[in-house]
């Protein structure tokens, strides 16, 4: 029987050879990965934006904070990280004794690339009395220069916890602006980086999808202010599951984040309708980097032990301190 091709993603933006797979192949590869995982003593962690079939073979799926915590708890000797490089680096920093594999080394992050140690050093020189709070979407080198890290799930809490009223928030300007609104008592200088996947979305596009009465808008804080102003809920990817639970009467949700996240939302809440917010170029919000890992690459990672993520020893110490400070901030 001819297998039906399944097409994932807004291929208009990022045509990728791995974006077309067939169901029989998915089943076969998934079974092989499940076997290899045990044989190689590996755990598979996947971010909520990974291809649906990659989320399905993961032991844990989650947001950046959840995966960092999970990475510390797992007992396996190898972590196969299905996400992007900065996430795999964080897993390595928090688990220096473990082997961390990123199945495709090209899976970077343009937000993370928007800040380098040099550009952060330049900002720090301009704001010498400010304490640096860095979003985890950053390199190990940048984390190492920062006092503390944060994720979209804990950014305001982290900023409140810092024993200084003057903060230099890097690198996401939309998340930084949202934190500034929640923590008005502090002076927060925000670096000028952004996630292009979220930053492309405009309020006017979201308004178009809200016409049906009772629609709830859930937005990621990497979206621009005009989008956040329309949102009923602003939260991290994993926080969005609880956001749905807070609206038991609502049947229709517009989700302003990367399209693959809706995969799990639909599984958890099959009786609700989820619509991915439309970017202004007529495509679902799509992160090409998050779609660079497919099942074939996960299998190869397990078989060949590639690609091992390493972090420079000097960066490791500073970045670990910044991440550990974040993990020590009490949760609400």
Token pair recorded at residue 104: 């495709």
Q: Could you tell me the smallest distance in angstroms from the CB atom of residue 236 to ligand 13P?
A: 3
Near ligand 13P by CB under 6 A: residue from 78, 90, 104, 236: 236
Q: Could you tell me the smallest distance in angstroms from the CB atom of residue 220 to ligand 13P?
A: 6
d(CA 234, CA 242): 11
d(CA 326, CA 332): 14
d(CA 189, CA 122): 14
Near ligand 13P by CB under 6 A: residue from 141, 222, 278, 294: 222
**Residue indicated by tokens 């001819």:** 2
> Are the CB atoms for 294 and 86 separated by under 8 Å?
no
**Interface mask toward ligand 13P for 119-158; x: CB under 6 A:** ------------------x-------------xx------
Residue among 59, 93, 67 at smallest CA distance from 238: 67
Question: Contact between 174 and ligand 13P (CB under 6 A)?
Answer: no
Q: Could you tell me the smallest distance in angstroms from the CB atom of residue 229 to ligand 13P?
A: 19
Comparing CB distances to ligand 13P, the nearer of 26 and 277 is: 277
* CA-CA-CA-CA torsion sign (326, 327, 328, 331): positive
Q: Could you tell me the smallest distance in angstroms from the CB atom of residue 137 to ligand 13P?
A: 5
d(CA 198, CA 201): 6
For ligand 13P, the binding residues (CB under 6 A) are 48, 63-64, 137, 151-152, 195, 220, 222, 236-237
């Amino acid at each position: 029987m001819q297998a039906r091709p399944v097409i994932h993603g807004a291929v208009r933006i990022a045509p990728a050879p791995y974006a077309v797979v067939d169901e029989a192949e998915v089943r076969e590869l998934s079974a092989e990965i499940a076997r290899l995982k045990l044989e190689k003593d590996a755990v598979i962690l996947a971010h909520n934006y990974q291809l649906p079939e990659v989320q399905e073979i993961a032991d844990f799926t989650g947001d950046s904070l959840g995966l960092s915590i999970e990475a510390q708890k797992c007992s396996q000797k190898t972590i196969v990280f299905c996400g992007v490089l900065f996430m795999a680096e964080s897993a390595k920093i928090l688990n220096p004794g473990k082997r961390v594999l990123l199945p495709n080394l090209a899976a970077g992050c343009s937000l993370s690339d928007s800040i380098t140690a040099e550009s952060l050093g330049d900002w720090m020189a301009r704001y010498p009395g400010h304490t640096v709070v860095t979003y985890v979407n950053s390199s190990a080198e940048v984390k190492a220069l920062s006092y503390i890290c944060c994720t979209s799930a804990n950014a305001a809490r982290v900023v409140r916890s810092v024993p200084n009223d003057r903060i230099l928030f890097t690198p996401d300007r939309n998340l930084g602006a949202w934190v500034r609104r929640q923590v008005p008592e502090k002076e927060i200088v925000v670096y000028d980086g952004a996630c292009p996947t979220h930053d492309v979305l405009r309020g006017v596009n979201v308004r178009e999808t809200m016409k049906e009465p009772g629609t709830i808008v859930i937005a990621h804080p990497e979206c621009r202010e005009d989008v956040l102003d329309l949102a009923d809920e602003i939260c991290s990817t994993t926080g969005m599951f609880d956001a749905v639970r807070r609206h038991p009467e609502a049947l229709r949700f517009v989700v302003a984040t990367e399209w693959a996240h809706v995969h799990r939302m639909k599984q958890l809440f099959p009786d609700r309708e989820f619509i991915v917010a439309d970017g202004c170029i007529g495509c679902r919000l799509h992160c090409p980097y998050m779609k660079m890992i497919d099942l074939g690459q996960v299998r190869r990672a397990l078989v060949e032990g590639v690609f091992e993520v390493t972090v420079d020893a000097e960066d490791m110490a500073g970045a670990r301190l910044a991440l550990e400070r974040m993990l020590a901030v009490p949760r609400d």
